Amino acid sequence: MHCQLLSCICIPRAVSVQPKTTFARSKSANERKVGHCTKVPRSNNMESLQTGYLFPEIFIRESEHMRKNPHARLIKLGVGDTTEPIPDIITSAMAEQARALSTGRGYRGYGPEQGDAALRTAIAEKLYQDTGVKGNEIFVSDGAQCDISRFQMLLAPNVSVAVQDPSFPAYTDSSVILGRAGKLQVETGKYGGIVYMKCRPESNFFPDLSTTPRTDIIFFCSPNNPTGSAASWQQLKQLVEFAKANGSIIVYDSAYAAYITDDSPRSIFQIPGAKEVAIEISSFSKLAGFTGVRLAWTVVPEELSYSNGYPVIKDYNRIVCTCFNGASNISQAGGLACLSAEAYKALSNIMGYYKENTKILLDTFASLGMKVYGGTNAPYIWVHFPGLSSWDVFTEILEKTDIVTVPGVGFGPGGEGYVRVSSFGHRECILEASKRLRNYYK
């Protein structure tokens, strides 16, 4: 039965398939005899990267599945992509800003590279109350993933890096690209120069810091992508103390902070002393459905300094001025609108909707007797398939139920045996996914 009414049925756009498959998979360009090669060597760092970036790779598998099964009614619970419309009050502000650019009074050229002052102040006041974070410590940008790379650019080449295992792949991949990851050890799937902080369910996916070696940089994401778990006050205090004792810098990714429902901290800067040891990267993407609008920010506290006492904020500012040129003024108008009381309430309702989706999916897997984690403080659930390969599970779910997930091992070797299931989606898709999963795994 081909159900036309299900708006979750996503047939990958033909327009996108072609370039993505061309670059990531097709060997035509690679195998073609090239008439002229430059004498520019390929970077060993780029060569060290494992396969394609995770999410385009999943997209390719989706597309192949659709090619083989053109009538499949695909449900995408893979890439964590928002699906619900943005409240009018926010898009009206963006439309108004766009239209103002056609007027003599409203036209604006380059804005400050760091972001509009009103937005920086609003972020500090609305999202960092009682933390001491000030507007001039907020750097507005076009995306959290972009900010991760910009931060990597300002670091000394040989700094050492730790990541949660599993973790969002951009931390590791950007470390590889900047040459600080060492060699890939095929047997473990780990880069020799990176410290992998194993995150196990027994400790709510918080790493054992007593056995973690010192590194210069600690990437730490909470609520965590992919495990869906948020670190507690006690755990984040431990993390800040650990960084302080080791002289490390924490790069704290709080992109999912708005999904926290219990009393877990929403920002690392709620922990006393964190301004001396951490930067925080966050985003409007999942808070406001801005995945396509592109707007994010990074907090770099004035208190944070290198070993020689030089403030990190000055180097970050230099990078932002040299390697970036500010976020779109239209997106920034939207970001400012998001932070009004009325808009924020509407956004909370949408996040509430996604949380109900999460509960449906959590209950589905739990009722099938599976071990499932996350979901309370994040729009992701993390399902354990002990002893199985996560790519095999991904493939089985895709082939048997036409549902796209993310194989846990894509987030690091510690994700093997798990899949991540996103609860972004229209309710009817989530219910349909639940039905298919119950039918298949019953």
Q: Which of residues 86-125 bind a second copy (CB under 8 A)?
A: 86-88, 90-92, 94-96, 98-99, 101-104, 106-114, 116-118, 120
Site string for a second copy, 295-324 (x = CB under 8 A): -------xxxxxxxxxx-xxx-xxx-xxxx
Residue 440 token pair: 């298949």
**Which residue from 209, 276, 268 is spatially nearest to 248, judged by alpha carbons?**
276
Q: Which is nearer to a second copy, 245 or 440 (CB)?
A: 245
- Residue 43 CB neighbours (<10 A): 11
- The DSSP symbol for 165 reads E
For a second copy, give the closer residue by CB, 36 or 442: 36
Contact of 20 with 59, CB cutoff 8 Å = yes
d(CA 274, CA 133): 11
Q: How many CB atoms lie within 10 A of CB 57?
A: 19
The answer to whether 179 contacts a second copy (rule: CB under 8 A) is yes
Nearer to a second copy, 290 or 382 (CB): 290
Burial of 198 (0-12, 13-18, 19+ CB in 10 A): middle
Interaction of residue 13 with a second copy, rule CB under 8 A: yes
Binding mask 201-240 for a second copy (x = CB under 8 A): ---------------xx-----------------------
Q: Name the residue among 137, 185, 177, 133 with its Cα closest to residue 157.
A: 177
- Pick 49 or 431: Cβ nearer a second copy: 49
Per CB under 8 A, 329 contacts a second copy: yes
Binding window for a second copy (CB under 8 A); candidates: 48-56, 187-195, 349-357, 375-383: 48-56
Give dist(CA 139, CA 116) in Å, integer: 9
Burial 160-195 (b: 16+ CB within 10 A, else e): bbbbbbbbbbbbbbbbbbbbbbbebeeeebbbebbb
Q: Which of 103, 234 has the CB closer to a second copy? A: 103
Do residues 273 and 285 touch, judged by C-beta distance below 8 A?
A: no
**Contact flags string 347-386 toward a second copy, x per CB under 8 A:** ----------------------------------------
Q: Which is closer to a second copy, CB of 31 or CB of 202?
A: 31
Please give the size of the binding site for a second copy, defined by CB under 8 A. Answer: 130
Which of 281/372 has CB closer to a second copy? Answer: 281
Asked whether the beta carbons of 389 and 408 are under 8 A apart, the reply is no
Q: Where are the alpha helices (DSSP H) in 69-135?
A: 88-100, 117-127
Site for a second copy in 132-151 (CB under 8 A): 135-136, 142-143, 145-146, 148-149
Residue closest to 339 by CA, chosen among 292, 396, 287, 394: 287
Q: How far is the CB of 244 from a second copy (least distance, A)?
A: 7
One of 249, 339, 361, 421 touching a second copy (CB under 8 A):
249
Q: Which residues contact 72 (CB under 8 A, 6 or more apart)?
A: 65, 66, 402
By C-beta, is 169 or 407 nearer to a second copy? 169
Q: Which is nearest to 133 in space by CA: 149, 122, 142?
A: 122
Coil/strand/helix, residue 384: strand
Site for a second copy in 266-295 (CB under 8 A): 273, 276-277, 289, 291-294
Lookup result for tokens 């998001």: 338
Considering beta carbons, is residue 90 or 409 the nearer one to a second copy? 90
Binding test (CB under 8 A) with a second copy, winner from 35, 213, 386, 387:
35
- Cα separation, 127 vs 120, in Å, equals 10
CB nearer to a second copy: pick between 319 and 409: 319
Site string for a second copy, 391-430 (x = CB under 8 A): ---------------------------------x------
Q: Which of 121, 171, 164 is nearest to 149 (CA)?
A: 171
Closest distance to a second copy from the beta carbon of 94 (Å): 4
Pick from 42, 68, 71, 442 the residue near a second copy by CB under 8 A.
42
Looking at the Cβ atoms of 110 and 387, the one nearer to a second copy is 110
Q: Which residue has the tokens 């639940």?
A: 434
Interaction between residue 44 and a second copy (CB under 8 A): yes
Question: What is the closest distance, in whole angstroms, from the C-beta atom of residue 243 to a second copy in the complex?
Answer: 8
